[in-house]
């Protein structure tokens, strides 16, 4: 099944602890159907000092959310919308917002 959400899409969380919050997708994991959203689902990790992180300590980073808990925000209206896929005359597949009936770039 093709994924309808992609990297750099602005999404809104529709269920769970972070319901109603919005953010930009940083990474999508196709195998696990999960995405990492900027500033959402922050977790703390205890890290040892390393060459990359000289000091170590407690770091905060984003954890993955399931794609079913996210909805794309329509670029035109700014509201969460479902996504459809249509095929243009030249054979190119394009995503479109079902709320505004416009293509999404």
pLDDT at 100 (0 to 100): 86
Residue-wise over 10-29: b if at least 16 C-beta within 10 A, else e? ebbbeeeebeeebbebeebe
Predicted local confidence at residue 1, as pLDDT? 53
Q: What is the pTM of this model?
A: 0.83
The domain ranges of the chain are 10-75
User: What 3-state DSSP class applies to 56?
Assistant: coil
Q: Per-block average pLDDT, block size 10, for the chain (105 residues)?
A: 84 94 95 95 94 90 95 90 91 90 84
Assign domain 10-75 to a CATH class: mainly beta
């Amino acid at each position: 099944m093709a994924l309808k959400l992609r990297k750099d899409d602005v999404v809104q969380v529709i269920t769970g602890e972070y319901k109603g919050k919005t953010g930009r997708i940083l990474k999508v994991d196709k195998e696990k159907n999960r995405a990492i959203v900027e500033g959402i689902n922050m977790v703390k990790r205890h890290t040892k000092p390393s060459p990359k992180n000289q000091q170590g300590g407690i770091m905060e980073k984003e954890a993955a959310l399931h794609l079913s808990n996210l909805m794309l925000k329509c670029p035109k209206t700014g509201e969460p919308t479902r996504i459809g896929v249509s095929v243009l005359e030249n054979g190119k597949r394009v995503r479109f917002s079902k709320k505004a009936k416009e293509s999404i770039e």
